[in-house]
Chain A
Amino acid sequence: MTQQEIFYKLLIANVVGWYLDDARIQLHRELYSMGDDPILLKRRFRMLSQLANYESQIYKKIYNFSSNNPSDYTDTLIQIKDELLHIINKNG
């Protein structure tokens, strides 16, 4: 693993961490504000659990991924943000 690869791995892991934190905080806020509705409460708990599964999956992939092309990492950030938005999408 080259220094450049390590640098981009850490960079992307860091940004993905922020995205995950934002998503989790948003769901936690909604847990409290919707606590009197059992169906919405169940959905938010389900989303939190799904978010945790996603987190575990994506960190493994970032670690295992290997490329000397920085854009292979940075292009993916948009994709990961999009995936997170789908996980916490209230229409699902």
Chain B
Amino acid sequence: MDKPLVKSLNHTYSKKLLEYNGFTVTQQVGTLYKVAGFDNYNYLLDINAVFSNSPRLDPVDRTGFCLSAIRWASVRPWQIPTQQIDLEQAMHQRVLDLCNTRQRLNLFWSGGIDSTAIVTAFLKNAPDIGQCRIIYSPWSTYEHPEFFKILQNIPKLDLIDISGDRYFNLDLDGIMISGNPGDELHASLDQSFFDQHGYDFLFTPWQDFFYKQNPDDAFIEFCQNHFALSGREITTVLEARWWFYISSKLTSILNSNNLSLFVSESAGFDPSRLIGFFDCDVYEQFIYFNTDKIILSQNYAGWKQILKDYCHSYDKFDEWRITKSKFGSIQIGVYTWKKEILNNRRNLMILEDGKCVSTKNLPLLSKKEWGRIQHQYQHVFRYPNTL
């Protein structure tokens, strides 16, 4: 491996790091920062601000059109899907691909829609369910108690509760499989956006909405150019949202909380062992041709209905299928923070080899402290004159 690049950036310190390394921060957008000389990237932040009141987690553009001042570790590049497959085929293929790694598969189950769909996919398709472990907490069982009862009755399936002190010393072999980026592949349609604008609005022309939010012709032109890279027509607000989140947000979301949970334990964790179930070409092949199925009713509970229907085909829980709606899973985030803080494993960034970049007095940080280690990490920054 060449010098390892950035897998995850701690936004708490990102402004200081940019300034300490000579960049000019021109504007704050939520917890993100525009940097002079990175016009395309700055426009991405403008799109983020159109869709969110408080943007967080840096966009990492899979098309390569918008480079930022941070050199991110290699991402799964955007490729225009050409083959249409259905949901059953996509889930089946993804499960087989993961099972073929011949490693233990640790499935993070929060009790929400995405992770329940993932576990269901393994129950339906895994040649040997004994290859899987279910990693859960009491909150998972509160969110979906009926499904937990099913899991308890499946022979050979390990169930591991990581609450209490266990997450402080989590040392699991095999691959960790999270529910990410299930939200992003379904346009990351959070309830506040839906409540604010309503269902019909999602199917109005994106240009009208964008121009109202940011009346700048150059911005609209940038969006048209970026959206063209999707290889399909982007007409509505929902499609624009889907494209932005699938092309530019899923990478940093994949590596935000979950990664720190593991690397904060020891220096030995290989970040490639953490996998987002939905971060794959086969699921993208399905959703690319089925964006009309992202939300199936005028009620917010219709978001991800296709995944709920998929679960229902296995568990037959009628009420859950109809009433369940997205509920933010904060458990892993809370565990990660506590583990980082109490194990004194705070970081400025995590590199792709699992190394935590830090100074000794974090959360206190000064230019002098950064200056002591700065020379080791010059390669993770990209300067405008190299674009």
Contact = CB atoms under 8 A, between A and B. Distances in A.
B242 interface: no
Interface string B326-366: 00001100110110011010000000000000001111111
Contact of A65 (B164, B337, B344, B361): B361
Given A87-B341, A91-B139, A72 B335 contact: no
22 contacts: A50-B342, A53-B342, A54-B341, A54-B342, A62-B364, A65-B361, A65-B364, A67-B368, A69-B366, A72-B367, A76-B364, A76-B365, A80-B363, A86-B334, A86-B338, A87-B338, A89-B337, A89-B338, A91-B139, A92-B331, A92-B334, A92-B337
Given A64-B360, A91-B334, A83 B341 contact: yes
A72 B365 contact: yes
B210 to A, nearest CB: 32
A33 interface: no
A72 B342 contact: no
Contacts of A50: 338, 342
Given A57-B344, A72-B364, A89-B334, 4 more contacts: A73-B364, A86-B334, A91-B331, A92-B334
Given A69-B366, A76-B364, A79-B12, A86 B330 contact: no
Interface in B53-91: none
Interface of B: 12, 139, 164-165, 330-331, 334-335, 337-338, 341-342, 344, 360-369
Given A53-B342, A54-B342, A65 B366 contact: yes
A79 B360 contact: no
A25 to B, nearest CB: 20
Nearest to A84: B341
A80 B360 CA distance: 15
A34 B369 CA distance: 44
B366 A67 contact: yes
Interface residues of A, number: 23
Contacts of B337: 83, 86, 89, 92
Q: Point out which of B331, B363, B369 has the most chain A C-beta atoms below 10 A from its C-beta.
A: B363
Contacts of B334: 86, 89, 91-92
B260 to A, nearest CB: 12
A44 to B, nearest CB: 13
Interface of A is mostly: helix
B271 to A, nearest CB: 23
Given A46-B165, A76-B363, A92-B334, A87 B342 contact: yes
Q: Which 7 A-B pairs have the closest CB atoms?
A: A67-B366, A92-B334, A86-B337, A65-B364, A79-B363, A65-B361, A61-B361
B368 A66 contact: yes
B56 to A, nearest CB: 14
A46 B368 CA distance: 36
A86 B368 contact: no
Nearest to A51: B342
Contacts of A61: 360-364
Contacts of A89: 334, 337-338
Contacts of B335: 92
Contact of A64 (B164, B341, B361, B363): B361
A92 B138 CA distance: 10
B139 to A, nearest CB: 7
Nearest to B330: A91
Contacts of B344: 57
A72 B366 contact: yes
Contacts of A62: 364
A77 to B, nearest CB: 10
Nearest to A78: B12
Q: Point out which of A64, A69, A83, A86 has the most chain B C-beta atoms below 10 A from its C-beta.
A: A86
A9 B341 CA distance: 21
A80 B163 CA distance: 24
Nearest to B15: A75
B66 to A, nearest CB: 29
Given A50-B338, A50-B342, A87-B342, A66 B366 contact: yes
B363 A83 contact: yes
Contacts of A57: 344
Contacts of B338: 50, 86-87, 89, 92
A57 B361 CA distance: 10
